[in-house]
Amino acid sequence: MNTDPSASFLARHEFFIRRLHSLCGLVPVGAYMVIHLVTNASVLDSPATYQRLVYQIHGLGRLLPFVEWTLIFIPILFHALLGIAIIRGGLSNLGHYPHASNLRYTLQRATGMIAFAFIMWHVFHLHGWFHFDAWLSHVAKPPWAAQFRPFNATSSLTVAMQGVVVPTLYAVGMLSCVFHLANGMWTMGITWGVWVTPSAQRRASWFCLAFGLGLAAVGLSTLVVAKNVNVDDAIESEQKMLDAKLNSDEIQPGDAAHKRWSREELRALRED
């Protein structure tokens, strides 16, 4: 720890802060990203499979906002804002030392900024950030925001991925997130002293590369399939599942009204 009283808080506690920052990037932020991408990839099997997983998530009921904020949103904001503070305190030396480690240093910071901007937009685009009526009625309105509905999981996701611009932005953002996580795992191993020898670092590089390529393949495949789902077929499948849950009282009609688009609303979104 830096004991210079004139140093900034970050400088005086740099050892602890950097380790906390790297740990938060892996757990829970990185772990959640992997789970999120794998869950979304269930659409590769069928819209019904994806819808079942979404129902399981929303089965948390009133606990869901607590889980989202404590395990997802707050850790992401903490990791991102602390990362910005760290970036502001250091400059890339790529121009003076143009070798692989410096390129990774620069890309880690660049993809971190892209990933943060993408996540903020992604949550706004699909969920609208906040769920109170005044916000959703006047600010976070489709077709630019709050397009996803959990009880129309696949059909609303497909409608949200219309055109070329939105899927392209999702591909760039997702790949930035994947690189930031995969390369961050490698740097975290150095920060925590897991791999310190050159041979151990080379093996870790190959592992992180394979992990990143695999996760990128999962994300891109999901994006392609989700964009090209037959919306009418997805609506039929989702409606059958919803009717079954309404008949068994697993879902109340009031919940269904707030968490799904009607056929007419989906049709209007497709035409926008």
Model confidence at 95, pLDDT cuts 50, 70, 90, reads low
In the chain, what are the domain boundaries?
9-271
The per-residue DSSP string of the chain comes to ----TTS-HHHHTHHHHHHHHHHHIIIIIIHHHHHHHHHHGGGGT-HHHHHHHHHHHHTTTTHHHHHHIIIIIHHHHHHHHHHHHHHHT----TTTS-SHHHHHHHHHHHHHHHHHHHHHHHHHHHH-S---HHHHHHTS-TTTS----GGGHHHHHHHHT-SSHHHHHHHHHHHHHHHHHHHHHHHHHHHTTS--SHHHHHHHHHHHHHHHHHHHHHHHHHHHHHHT--HHHHHHHHHHHHHHHHHTTSS-HHHHHHS---HHHHHHHHH-
Residue 218 phi, psi dihedral angles, 5° rounding: -60, -45
Distance CA 80, CA 25 (A): 9
Higher local confidence (pLDDT), 18 or 73? 73
Model confidence at 11, pLDDT cuts 50, 70, 90, reads low
Give mean pLDDT, residues 237-262.
90
Question: Would you say domain 9-271 falls under CATH 1.10.3720.10?
Answer: no
Mean pLDDT of the chain: 90
pLDDT digits (tens, 9 = 90+) for 15-47: 888 889 999 999 999 999 999 999 999 999 999
User: What's residue 39's pLDDT?
Assistant: 97
Contacts of 92 (CB under 8 A, 6+ apart): 102, 105, 106, 109
Higher local confidence (pLDDT), 203 or 269? 203
Say yes or no to pLDDT of 90 above 60: no
pLDDT digits (tens, 9 = 90+) for 101-147: 788 889 999 999 999 999 999 999 999 998 888 888 889 988 889 99
Distance CA 157, CA 167 (A): 11
User: What's residue 217's pLDDT?
Assistant: 98
Write out the two tokens for 177.
Answer: 């997130």
Q: What is the pTM of this model?
A: 0.91
